Amino acid sequence: MTDRIGHRFRTPGLLEQALTHRSAGAPHNERLEFLGDALVNLIVAEALYAHWPRADEGALTRARAELVRESALAPIARTLELGARLTLGPGEMKSGGHRRDSILADALEAVVAAIYLDSDFPTCRDAVLPWFQDAIDALPPPHKVGKDAKTRLQEWLQGRQKPLPVYALLAESGEEHAKNFHVTCTLAQPALVTEGVGSSRRAAEQIAAEAALERLAGPASDEA
């Protein structure tokens, strides 16, 4: 079977297992997912190493993290139409598990492992790398990849010899299992206060930092 996956399986049972969620019983794809995760990281790391011959370890690590995270793998799985081919238990079928990012990303990694076990590493790499090539080609310059908002804001201020931001927790709300955190991000120079609300204090701080960066980059800012 080749189709969108790009590999003709000599042992079709490997692909069947890769597309079987644990909710459907054994044999399922969790062990394959474990192996596939390592293979995806290696294939992407090797490609980035060649793509950016002068990038340092930090930039390469951030770029790889961007490319192999769940929210990046799930769209690839959708492009390969894996969701429609998943074997799920009744509960997962009822809840729409074939559309869930986590299940799709895990299945994609399991398929990578299945290809590897059905062939060898070069064959696996040749089948898998095209799935990531467009995203690799679309990456921004190495120094701009993957830095979170708090890091980018700190670097913006340090580059202009300005005081670092101060984050403060204003309030917590919601039930214990579904809390919201409301924080502020205060800059002394230029004088600026932004707010963020998130499901964790760290997430809220990132949102507030992103808001500050947007304000600093806006037409009203003479410091940008």
Taking 90 as the threshold, does the pLDDT of residue 183 lie above it? yes
Residue-range domains of the chain with CATH: 3-140 (1.10.1520.10), 149-217 (3.30.160.20)
User: For residue range 20-75, what is the model confidence (pLDDT) as tens digits?
Assistant: 999 999 999 999 999 999 999 999 999 999 999 999 998 899 899 889 988 899 99
Q: Global pTM?
A: 0.68
Q: How far apart are alpha carbons 98 and 86 in whole angstroms?
A: 7
Residues identified as active-site: 37, 109
Q: Is 195 annotated as a binding residue?
A: no
Contacts 24+ apart (CB under 8 A), 50-53: 51/136, 51/139, 52/142
pLDDT of amino acid 222: 46
Contacts 24+ apart (CB under 8 A), 165-171: 165/209, 165/212, 167/205, 167/208, 169/201, 170/195
User: For residue range 112-163, what is the model confidence (pLDDT) as tens digits?
Assistant: 999 999 999 999 999 999 999 999 998 888 877 767 789 889 989 999 999 9
Q: Is 56 annotated as a binding residue?
A: no
Taking 90 as the threshold, does the pLDDT of residue 177 lie above it? no
Q: Is 134 annotated as a binding residue?
A: no
Taking 70 as the threshold, does the pLDDT of residue 2 lie above it? no
Burial class (CB in 10 A: 0-12, 13-18, 19+), 166: exposed
Q: How far apart are alpha carbons 67 and 134 in whole angstroms?
A: 11
Determine how many CB atoms are found less than 10 A away from the CB of residue 103.
Answer: 24
Helix axis angle, 121-137 relative to 57-68, nearest 10°?
A: 100
Strand ordering across the sheet containing 166-173: 166-173, 180-187, 192-198
pLDDT of amino acid 219: 57
- Report residue 100 CA to chain centroid gap: 14
